[in-house]
Amino acid sequence: MGFGVTKNGNLYVDELRDDIFCPNCGSKMSLKKGRFGPFLSCEGFPKCRTVARLRKQALEEARARMPAPEKKAPPEPTDIPCDQCGANMVIRTGRSGKFLGCSAYPKCRSTKPIPTDLLSLGVK
């Protein structure tokens, strides 16, 4: 099993195995997740910057090993009016947890903490 080379000179692999080694420095290649999907990267980084694309069976297997993240749940509507524009507020989830945000976002950027009576009803 070896590396293939595309017309542009990029390395690729058709079969994914655990013992794939960098053709440039001999270090082990490891599976990484990038914004365009999974790929193989040399563990000798930053000295060696060799990467290899995955194709065919290797790409399918890598996607099975590294599934895509789950999508965010849609905001939960409430009957609480916005203080600035009067539209209903929705429960959103941010880095610091849940909060109330205006449903007219991005026109209205009003936010506020969730009231304690809503918290007692089971909003986590």
In this prediction the pTM is: 0.56
Burial code of 8-45, b = ≥16 C-beta within 10 A, e = fewer? Answer: eeebbbeebeeebebeeeebebebeeeeeebbbbbebe
Q: Over the stretch 44-87, which tens digit does the pLDDT of each residue have? A: 999 999 999 999 899 999 988 888 777 888 999 999 999 999 99
Domain boundaries in the chain? 4-65, 76-120
Overall average pLDDT of the 83-110 stretch: 94
Overall average pLDDT of the 113-120 stretch: 80
Q: Determine the pLDDT at residue 19.
A: 87
Q: Determine the pLDDT at residue 2.
A: 77
The helix or strand, by DSSP H or E, that contains position 61, with its residue range, turns out to be helix 56-65
Minimal CA–CA distance to 92: which of 75, 113, 71? 75
CATH of 76-120, one of 2.40.50.140, 3.30.65.10, 3.40.50.10800, 3.90.79.10: 3.30.65.10
Q: Determine the pLDDT at residue 69.
A: 75
Q: Check if the beta carbon of residue 62 is closer than 8 Å to that of residue 50.
A: no
